[in-house]
Structure 1
Amino acid sequence: MAPTYRELLTSATTSAVHLEMRDVYTVESEQERIAAWRAGHRYDPADRASWWRPWLDLIVETVERGVDVRRARVVSEPVNEYIRYSHAYAFTNVAAGERLRWLPRAMASDLALPGNDFWLVDGRLVLFNLFDGGGRPTGVEVSEKPGVAELCATAFDAVWGRGIDHQDYRPA
């Protein structure tokens, strides 16, 4: 059975990296936040209590334990509405301690990337996030095979190395 995200991040001792490669994620729990964003709502940087909970609390707890949490996003440009929304609210992830970089897809053409988004914990456990064509989650797949972990680590490092830090990335 696959671990929950809480179990996954709680098990991390040194690193937890996340590679996202989709331009749309249709997650039911996020639809209300997207609708509010469309209507003009913006998170107040000074009002942390109003931000996405309990996820950000988990990131804070993980980083406070000394775990390096990084996320890299490969995005098509010009970006779509979902990526604009994600970028607008990503400052909360950074404030929680996550390091974040964005890589325009045109700069990733020569990189060997896995077929699915993933979390890689401590360079040994991979949790692949599986989605249908519309961006709806369909499940997860877990692997502790050394070759799979190495592929994911190499792919993440390649994207990270070319990525643009969140504070410098301006969605085209």
Structure 2
Amino acid sequence: MPSNEPTRFADLLAQCERSAVHLEMRDVYAVDKEKGPFAEWQAGFRHDPADRASWWRPWLDLVAETVSRGVVIRRARIVSEPVSDYIRYEHSGTFTNTEAGEQVRWLPRRRASDLALPGNDFWLFDDRLVRWNHFAGDGSSQGPEHTTDPSAVKLCGEAFEAVWGRGVPHDLYEIR
């Protein structure tokens, strides 16, 4: 990665001028099964859309600020059906992302079989910088990697747009 590129995610979004897209392709990400938001959700907790103060968090501030500058933030999730409990959890809380201004679509994995997809989840900023998200088999983060390689940027841009074109908008996607 060029040394003049920021490495902190907040800095990447702060320098973004037009678009930030995120492709997620895992059915489970590392979660603490004993405590934390996922465990609370499994125990029956659900965010109350009317009580914004209870669920608004720094990530949503960052999204809202970025969107207010005219940057379009889109997230696409490729999911296996029937979905995992973790995807049910993500789906139930995604209204917070959309409230902040993020656009989200869901694509059943069976509808992605003929798409050329990169091997890892990623963010693509302004069609010029890719931030790969590397994960271990248990879903734990193995850290990011950045590239401005034109072939990687092209692959990620085309993959994202293909998934986005087939994806179902969040408010229309029904969990199976």
TM-score surpassing 0.5?
yes
Identity among equivalent pairs (%): 59
Aligned partner (choices 83, 86, 90) of residue 90 of structure 2: 86
What is the Cα deviation at residue 171 of structure 1? Answer: 1.2
What is the Cα deviation at residue 147 of structure 1? Answer: 1.2
**1:27–1:137 CA contact under 8 A, matched in 2:** no
Alignment match, 1:166: 170
**1:126–1:149 CA contact under 8 A, matched in 2:** yes
Is 1:40 the equivalent of 2:44? yes
Q: Which amino acid aligns with 1:81?
A: D
Gaps in structure 2 of 5+ consecutive residues: none
Alignment match, 1:106: 110
Determine helix, strand or coil for the equivalent of 2:36.
Answer: helix
Determine helix, strand or coil for the equivalent of 1:50.
Answer: helix
Determine helix, strand or coil for the equivalent of 1:90.
Answer: helix
Task: Supply the distance in 2 between the matched residues of 1:68 and 1:22 (Cα, whole angstroms).
Answer: 23
1:107-155 alpha-carbon deviations (Å, 9 max, x no partner): 0000000000000000000000000001100111100111110110000
RMSD of aligned C-alpha atoms?
Answer: 1.2
Is 1:70 the equivalent of 2:74? yes
Q: Which amino acid aligns with 1:106?
A: R
Alignment match, 1:120: 124
Q: Which of 2-11 and 54-63 deviates more?
A: 2-11
**1:12–1:121 CA contact under 8 A, matched in 2:** yes
What is the Cα deviation at residue 52 of structure 1? Answer: 4.9
TM-score norm. by structure 1 comes to: 0.95
Q: Which runs of 4+ in 1 moved over 6 A?
A: none
Task: Supply the distance in 2 between the matched residues of 1:49 and 1:18 (Cα, whole angstroms).
Answer: 26
**1:14–1:68 CA contact under 8 A, matched in 2:** yes
Alignment match, 1:5: 9
Distance 1:128-1:157 versus aligned 2 partners, 3 A rule = same
Determine helix, strand or coil for the equivalent of 2:138.
Answer: coil
Is 1:57 the equivalent of 2:66? no
**1:103–1:162 CA contact under 8 A, matched in 2:** yes
Q: How many pairs are equivalent?
A: 170
